[in-house]
Structure 1
Amino acid sequence: MKKFEKATFAGGCFWCMVKPFDQWDGVESVISGYTGGNTENPIYEEVKTGTTGHFESVEITYEPEKISYQQILDLYWPQIDPTDDGGQFHDRGSQYRTAIFYHNDEQKQLALDSLKKVADSGRFKKEIVTQILPATTFYPAEEYHQDFYKKNEDEYLEDREKSGRDQFIEEHWEQTK
């Protein structure tokens, strides 16, 4: 019988955070949604105001026998600017900040260790501000946000291009692979 676990990450606009995880063997699902805030059953129109305390995030269901939490963490970091506490790329506001939401003590320790590794890498001149937080209730986003990169490929690619995300990734992450 397959055993599944959850990993939850905030990395700016959730549209851009699904595809990097969705394509790996052992990843069962990647759901766009909201977590970390104080509004029950939030909707996009509320979250985008930045007043709910929620982060746009993704909840990944994975099979640890096929892909480890460490491997998922290693996929997460190169998707973000961990030094920006005002949002991510062209998406500004508290709802677009970065965070790793841990589901158990092992995930917490691995997340803290990975943050230290990024901070100690010398890759960034500014302080790492990505938060490590306990997972709270995850609220799936509206259906039209799910698998956006598949359902709206042109809009997805256009938004990524405008955002500056890919240029940042290339400049800060890919140069030292």
Structure 2
Amino acid sequence: MVAYLRELKAATLAALIVVGLCLHAKEARAGASETLVVAGGCFWCVEADFEKVKGVVEAESGFAGGTVENPTYKQVTRGGTGHLEAVRITFDPTLVTRDQLLYLFFRSVDPTDDGGQFCDRGESYETGIFVTDAAENRLARTVKEDAANALGQTIVTPILQLDRFWPADAYHQDYYKSNDIVLTRFGPRTKASAYKLYRDACGRDARVRELWGNEAPFAGQS
């Protein structure tokens, strides 16, 4: 009986150690996540695209690049704040790297357009890559140059210093997959349905396919 209890105690201790290691590994993985902030026109579309990428933990719609603190959607789209519609991509660098995400980003937008994106015009819909340090800046410039060579055209997407990312309100998060009902010009629709109608009408995928051909990673996947 004593030997049995001793073995049971040892087994229990081993199990607790394994659980502890698993929890520690989980925390380590969570702590190792990184972020990338990009602007690619309508943030609903950028969010929808990058949440399909293996290794992306979350994509959050918001604003970056301007001077107004805690901006609202109406303020930004009206213009004058300096903010772009942006998306903060949280990713696991062991599954997808920053340069891979930047590669995908350039091929998911029209980086030759300096007046907006697709049907959305104005400064808030312009493209941009936001960086926080010199290493990120160098990487972004390298990927931008590679994209320009691949496209054979001048890329106007700027590389900007990230001061702060401001999340948009809850209404805009996960818009592309929400079943909430909204009123559209087509009548009441779920947000997911309204998003699909908007994306198709805006010509995003058609223009990206025209530019990038088979290299366009998300066109037709909306």
TM range (shorter): over 0.9
* Residue from 136, 140, 143 that aligns with 2:170: 143
CA distance in 2, matches of 1:86, 1:176: 23
The alignment's TM-score, normalised by the length of structure 1, stands at: 0.94
**What's the counterpart of residue 131 of structure 2?**
102
**What's the counterpart of residue 220 of structure 2?**
none
1:157 positional shift: 0.7
- Identify if the C-alpha distance between structure 1 residues 122 and 140 changes in structure 2 by more than 3 Å, giving closer, same or farther: closer
The amino acid that maps onto 2:56 is V
Q: Is the 8 A contact 1:4 1:61 kept in 2?
A: yes
**What's the counterpart of residue 121 of structure 1?**
150
Q: String of CA shifts for 1:82-139, please: whole Å, max 9, x gaps.
A: 0111100110000000000013322211110111112222443xx3110001112100
* Residue from 45, 63, 68 that aligns with 2:97: 68
The amino acid that maps onto 1:148 is Y
Q: Is the 8 A contact 1:6 1:103 kept in 2?
A: no
**What's the counterpart of residue 47 of structure 2?**
18
- Identify if the C-alpha distance between structure 1 residues 46 and 174 changes in structure 2 by more than 3 Å, giving closer, same or farther: same
- Identify if the C-alpha distance between structure 1 residues 158 and 129 changes in structure 2 by more than 3 Å, giving closer, same or farther: same
**What's the counterpart of residue 75 of structure 2?**
46
**What's the counterpart of residue 159 of structure 2?**
132
Unaligned runs of 5+ in 1: none
Q: String of CA shifts for 1:30-88, please: whole Å, max 9, x gaps.
A: 10000000000000010011110000000011111111001111110111110111100
1:175 positional shift: 4.0
1:142 positional shift: 1.1
SS at match of 1:72: helix
Q: Is the 8 A contact 1:20 1:75 kept in 2?
A: no
The amino acid that maps onto 1:146 is Q
More helix by share: 2
Which structure 1 residue ranges, 4+ long, deviate > 3 Å from structure 2?
none
1:144 positional shift: 0.9
CA distance in 2, matches of 1:172, 1:27: 25
CA distance in 2, matches of 1:163, 1:73: 23
* Residue from 186, 197, 200 that aligns with 1:161: 200
Q: Is the 8 A contact 2:151 2:212 kept in 1?
A: no
SS at match of 1:76: helix
Aligned residues: 175
Unaligned runs of 5+ in 2: 1-27, 179-190, 217-222
Q: Is the 8 A contact 1:103 1:135 kept in 2?
A: yes
The alignment's TM-score, normalised by the length of structure 2, stands at: 0.75
CA distance in 2, matches of 1:149, 1:47: 20
Higher RCO (Cα < 8 Å, 6 or more apart): 1
The amino acid that maps onto 1:27 is V
**What's the counterpart of residue 116 of structure 2?**
87
